[in-house]
Amino acid sequence: MPRRWAAAWLLVLGALGCRQDMHDQPKYKPFRRSDFFGDDRSARPLVEDTVARGQLRDDPRLFTGKEGATPVDTFPVPVTEALLRRGQERFTIYCTPCHGQTGRGDGMVVQRGYRRPPSFHIDRLRNEKVGYFFDVMSNGFGAMPDYATQVPVADRWAIVAYLRALQLSENARVEDVPAQSRAELAAGPALAPPPVTEPPVAAAPTAPAGPAAGAPGTLARPASAPPPSARPHVSGPAGAPGGTAPQPSASPRERP
């Protein structure tokens, strides 16, 4: 009997020590109804001005390309060679399918029927502010979707910087080159014209070599003389030019 009581006490102690707090947590599952709030929703709206970690966008010029409602006209980031090279790489990946390599709106998908975008080299877009292009990439415009998800903020500004360089390269003047670099531009090597190559002249066919004249077993014959088999056969009186003497006809042998 004492053993049975001991086993029973062990079972009671074990049951008291086994808790279900981790299994039955006091929480709401997604979209579960709640009687605590007046709207019966367990999921609560965010508190006003709540900022997610790492998403504090305290520079509107950098993150929107605008000052209030007006696009900015200057870059909020330093324009360096590294930024231009990064912009060229991102432009090639994301922009050339529609806008083409030179920005004239002749990309591959346009050649396949997609709506043609305007050229970046028209006066309207050449005179447009840099913040305008950033805003179009961020929010889309017309048939162009937004690229805010695919292209981060820093890369969007890099693309705008390369776009400005592309516009300048297509409409550049000597006066646009810095004074200290004009001498290098003038002293640059001149491009030589490509060499002109003429098509090869085909050699004239040669007759196969025959046996040499005078060689043993050969008969020298004028080149213009036709072979005997090709000469015409003419019969005539004996002694006539070109004639042949008549041959005696065969007769039976006279008997004695």
pLDDT at position 55 is 84
Give pLDDT < 70 ranges for the chain: 1-2, 10, 12-22, 188-256
* Any domain includes 43: no
pLDDT at position 243 is 47
Q: Which amino acid is at 210?
A: G
* Any domain includes 192: no
How far CA 228 is from CA of 61, 114, 222, 238, in Å, comes to: 107, 82, 12, 20
How far CA 185 is from CA of 62, 182, 219, in Å, comes to: 35, 5, 79
Please say whether the beta carbons of 134 and 157 come within 8 A: yes
Please say whether the beta carbons of 107 and 116 come within 8 A: no
* Any domain includes 30: no
* Any domain includes 35: no
Domain assignment of residue 144, given as a range? 79-173
Q: Which amino acid is at 97?
A: P
Residue 144, beta-bridge partner list: 141
CATH number at residue 107: 1.10.760.10
Structural domain count of the chain: 1
pTM confidence score: 0.56
Cα end-to-end span (Å), the chain:
175
pLDDT at position 115 is 93
* Any domain includes 149: yes
* Any domain includes 92: yes
pLDDT at position 49 is 86
Residues 6+ away with beta carbon under 8 Å from 44: 37
* Any domain includes 40: no
- In degrees and rounded to multiples of 5, residue 171 shows phi and psi of -135, 35
* Any domain includes 210: no
